[in-house]
Structure 1
Amino acid sequence: MGLIQGFLTLMFGSGRNVIRETAEVFTENAEAGAKRAQAVQGQAMQQFGAEFALARHGVFDRFMDGVNRLPRPALALGTLGLFVSAMVDPLWFAARMQGIALVPEPLWWLLGVIVSFYFGARHQLKAQSFQREVATTMARVPQVVENIRTLDALRADSPGAANPGPDAQLSVAVLHPEDNPALEDWKSSRST
């Protein structure tokens, strides 16, 4: 008894849990991870709130807020405008495209970098959200497969759907069908 008690005291005694402490070396403690995530989220929200704590009602501030909202709609509407102008006046459109063909390649690279940085963060956020949704959907696959199997077993044409079970009289009755007057009338009408 002393050996078992000594082992249990070593593993769980003195206010420690050696097994839990060892397991936490290999996997994160979910509760501690949630507390850390909550602290990070709280700090981010405080920083975000502090950024907008001062009321900015000046003309310049409103103007800059408006300018910050322009790029996405301007790019989208500008692209649609190019399609419309190509249909309305193809020669005018072709002349403008010839001008664009003269833009040097380093300037195209610079434009690509600016647009990538501007839209990249949003794309990354959407991609991560999509991955989470795919993972959630994939987690439901075993349940869906099981539901499909259950539904297939209920179909009338599936093997064993009409199994009479251990009832011998029912088994004999299933093997020897009763007379069906309607079927007999139909057979006789078909033979004549």
Structure 2
Amino acid sequence: MGLIGRAIGVGQAAGAIGEAAQGLSEVFVANATRQMELDAEIHRATMETAASEFQHAGAGLFDRVINGLNRLPRPMLALGTLGLFVFAMVDPAAFAARMVGLDAVPEPLWWLLGAIVSFYFGARELHYVRRAPVARGGGLRAPWRRAGVQQAPAEDPVAHNPALSAWRNAGAQDPSSAFLEAAPRSQ
């Protein structure tokens, strides 16, 4: 292109005219490509700023205390249940008195306690499931269905049905009309 442009003598002039036309067109219509580049640059800068804010955020004392408190209910429930068995064996009369007191608790209050405990443990389980890395790839695929293994073609389940074969050979009309024609008529 350079040789032809120099031979004709319009190389630089044609480039200048093209740039002027592009600049003039951007006065009336925004350059969509440049706008997308600017948007991507703003998004990248925003993400870098957010990443730099949390780059060195370690778990402080408050976070460690709260994480420790969150880990207490399960062991407390398990050890408390075992403690009830020990208490029942050590002092059966006092245990019976405590159980009479528990029997006085109204039924809706037990339902409320069950809901609170269920939601607490369910939320914790969901929290850990969401943080777990998701396995990628075909790890769940059965060994006999790996890529490259030829599968036997699926057999047509109606291939050996003589009634359907006759119906297809007859022109495959609407099944209800074929049924009505074959049905005995009462007079």
- Name the TM-score, length of structure 1 as normaliser: 0.35
Bigger Rg, which one: 2
- Name the TM-score, length of structure 2 as normaliser: 0.35
